[in-house]
Amino acid sequence: MIRHLVSITDLTEKEILSILKNSIKLKQKLKSSKKATEYLKNKTLVMIFEKPSLRTRLSFEIGMTQLGGHAIYLGPTDIGLGKRESIEDVARVTSSMSDIIMARTFSHESIVKLAKNSSVPVINALSDLEHPCQILADFQTILEKKKKLKGLTIGFVGDGNNNVTHTMLLGAMMLGINFSLASPKGFEMNHDIVKRAKKISEKTKTKIFETNDPKLAVSRADVVVTDTWVSMGSEAEKDKRLKIFKPYQINSTLMHFAKKDAIFMHCLPAYRGYEIAADVIDGPQSVVFEEAENRLHVQKSLMLFLMNMLN
């Protein structure tokens, strides 16, 4: 059976932990430049982007190079996904020649369709609904910093109806991490995602807490997180959003409500002075650049897992 990563819930808890463990190994190997890791020699990754990217493109392309394979970049004007050609046909053609596909799309449904019609693994590299690669890197970073995942509390402040928020909630529930969110009225998380998360939380005995008060959300948190107030695709609402989200900035006053040893995370790109104050993102509690680097390691591990080559 071909495995895809469309939603973080396509993986089991055990599989996530194994991907993280192998990622940490690959990272150590790379840092000590001990041994070549050409596990994907002569393999090709096709990268489909409908939106801009720095980290995702770099980490997948460099990751593939480090694994001995090759990556092809197809940008927004290359394919015309669903316009020049149907998504189904794009999936059939691309998977007939390549070994693995990653896609960053506007609509989540586009990735679902790509996966349905592909004969090779398809990875969601961000859709309007989820960002699973980011959350794998985030959990690796939390694990490295806190030495555990189970029992921790994440305090997320900002846009609830956001790909990063959704995947972090689902992943947190799977791994036994409590999740608190503060978002303004009208920017709550997607109802179906919360329903799915609640179902998982019943099994893992994990708590979800939703509020409009940022102080309550970060109170006693081990990990404080935010993301841009204006995600790709919402640019038309920029002025309105900047006003509504103003009380939701993470700054040093808000950080005082979290645990003393709390870490600060942000998937980047970040907008200093808006969702995050410069002294926090550039301060001692911030782990954002290690978080960004972990995209490289964890996606190498993910590709090996999906291609049945995780050792």
Question: Which residues belong to the active site?
Answer: 104, 131, 134, 227, 267, 295
Question: Closest Cα to residue 208, out of 196, 224, 197, 219?
Answer: 197
Give yes or no for residue 267 binding ligand CP (CB under 6 A): yes
Q: What is the side-by-side order of every strand in the sheet holding 100-104?
A: 70-74, 44-49, 100-104, 122-124
Question: Residue 162 CB, nearest distance to ligand NVA (Å)?
Answer: 5
Q: What is the dihedral of CA 241, 243, 245, 251, to 10 degrees?
A: 130
- Taking a C-beta distance cutoff of 8 angstroms, is the pair 154, 179 a contact? yes
Region 194-233 residues binding ligand CP, contact defined as CB under 6 A: none
The piece of 81-89, 108-116, 267-275, 296-304 that touches ligand CP (CB under 6 A) is 267-275
Q: What does the per-residue mask of binding to ligand CP show for 41-70, with x meaning CB under 6 A?
A: ------------xxxx--------------
Residues that bind ligand NVA (CB under 6 A): 126, 162-164, 227-228, 231-232, 267
Cross-strand pairs, 102:
47, 123
Which of ligand CP, ligand NVA, none lies near 294, with the C-beta cut-off 5 to 8 A by kind?
A: none
Which of ligand NVA, ligand CP, none lies near 227, with the C-beta cut-off 5 to 8 A by kind?
A: ligand NVA
Question: Closest Cα to residue 181, out of 216, 220, 136?
Answer: 216
- Taking a C-beta distance cutoff of 8 angstroms, is the pair 69, 117 a contact? no
Which of ligand CP, ligand NVA, none lies near 54, with the C-beta cut-off 5 to 8 A by kind?
A: ligand CP
Question: Closest Cα to residue 279, out of 264, 294, 301, 293?
Answer: 264
Q: Which of 105, 134, 162, 165 binds ligand CP (CB under 6 A)?
A: 134
Nearer to ligand NVA, 164 or 175 (CB): 164
Residue 106 in 3-state DSSP?
coil
Which of ligand NVA, ligand CP, none lies near 162, with the C-beta cut-off 5 to 8 A by kind?
A: ligand NVA
- Token pair in block for residue 93: 């053609």
Q: Which residues bind ligand CP (CB under 6 A)?
A: 53-56, 126, 134, 267-269
